[in-house]
Structure 1
Amino acid sequence: MARSWLHLCICLQIPGFCTNLLLSQTPEHILAQTNNKTEILCELKHEHVGVYWYRWSQEKQNFDFLIFSNAFGKATYGADISQDKFSVHKGSSQTSYSLHISRLHASDNGTYYCSVSQSSQLLLGSGTRLGVVDVLPLPPKTTQAPLSKKPVRCVTKSKAADKKGACSPLVWIPLAISVLVLLLSLVPTAYRLHRKHPTSPGGR
């Protein structure tokens, strides 16, 4: 057993040192409100005689043994651990365990590890960090994009824009003059055609 505790200490000194593919924990992070409850799921790749649960407190620099639950559902609690607060439930499979924590308090803050014993060592899961707060933060507000306005064909913004814009008199006045010149050039042509082909009084 001394080797197991030594191994746990090494794991705390070097994060990720003892994590392995035999255990998986979900979720990675939990933010819960005071007096509520939460649960942490631990999945094992193979069947074991039971699962240990530990809590590491970064603030206190303390590693606590919480509870051991064997394959038959019998629980063994650590010193000064409330049986009404912590409980372990087996999932639908024989390799699934969940730790339930009720009446959450600030003292429950920490990183929780599920663990199994193998070859005189305690192999830890990836860990679940639990944070307990009095008031949960509000979700960020989503802002709607402003509605796009319909394009305006002719909008005069400034005097400089009037001189260069599509609505400027400098654009349509030359166009009107060109049309007028074209009409005037057609008058002599129409007159000559009329003289070459005079219309008789009685018509054809």
Structure 2
Amino acid sequence: MTLSCMCGYVFMWMAAVVLPSFQATSNVFYSKINDSQNLNCQCPDHTCQEVFWYRHLESRNTLQFLMYVNSAGREQHGENFNASKFKGTVSTGQKVVYTLRIIELQEDDAGFYSCLFKTKNFLPAGYYIMPGVNPPTVQPPTVKTQPRPAKPCNCNSRHSPKGCEHLVLWPGIGALLLLAITLAGTLYYFSRLPKKCRHRFAK
């Protein structure tokens, strides 16, 4: 049994366990046709000696084993996949980072890409790759403008500002009504008084 077949069997067994939740966390890349894309798979410590790269194609609804890479940089591709399309590298430091480089992306490469560590029981965040798809436009958030509070009128000046007419009009009308009532009462009072007799002087 070749190394590729062994890696494929190990990968399929591990993917069957964790695949139902593989879309839980992921990033989306809207790549252009014939562009290249780098995908990183970070190990939280130095115990990740082997990694399996895979993808799930949306057009075919199939799960494919891409390649196997170990910490020494040795790689083994799956069937019908070669180094001209997929390249795997590893960098070590405080953490071990495995990188998958995909060259000359095409529309049929659209799907979900991720990795599996042989000695870990967690699934790193994957990537959605959408070659030739324009990213959705995000509309700016609508900001509700609060109405400005009414500006207090200062009507003490000689020229009343616009908007203060009602503060002058109603008191003026009240004063006129009061004056009219007072005048009417005064006239009514004097009309009820007895008239003075006028003496006629004889010639």
Q: Is 1:11 paired with 2:18?
A: yes
Q: How far does residue 143 in structure 1 lie from its aligned partner after superposition?
A: 6.1
Give the drift of 1:116. 2.1
User: What is the match of residue 81 of structure 1?
Assistant: 81
Query: What does 1:144-155 correspond to in 2, within 5 Å?
Result: 153=153, 154-155=162-163
1:140 aligns with 2:148: no
1:43 match: 42
1:202: which partner in 2? none
Aligned-pair distance for 1:55? 0.6
CA distance in 1, matches of 2:38, 2:116: 16
Q: 1:15 to 1:134 in 2, by over 3 A?
A: closer
Alignment of 1:1-204 (within 5 A): 1=6, 2=9, 5-12=12-19, 14-15=20-21, 28-35=26-33, 36-45=35-44, 46-93=46-93, 95-118=96-119, 124-141=123-140, 153=153, 154-155=162-163, 165-166=166-167, 169-174=169-174
**Amino acid in structure 2 at the alignment position of 1:117:** K
| Residues in 2 aligned to 1:144 and 1:172: alpha-carbon distance in whole angstroms | 44
Deviation at 1:104, TM superposition (A): 2.1
Task: State the TM-score, normalized to the length of structure 2.
Answer: 0.58
Displacement of 1:76 in angstroms is 1.7
Conserved 8 A contact 2:42-2:124: no
Q: Secondary structure at the match of 2:12?
A: helix
CA displacement at 1:50 relative to structure 2: 2.6
Q: Give the structure with higher Rg (CA).
A: 2
Alpha-carbon RMSD: 3.7
Number of paired residues?
158
Q: Is the 1:4–1:122 contact (alpha carbons within 8 Å) kept by the matching residues of 2? A: no
**Deviation at residue 66 of structure 1 after TM alignment:** 0.9
Q: 5+ residue gaps in structure 1? A: 20-26, 157-161, 179-204
The percent identity for this pair of structures is 18
CA distance in 2, matches of 1:111, 1:65: 12
Higher strand share: 1
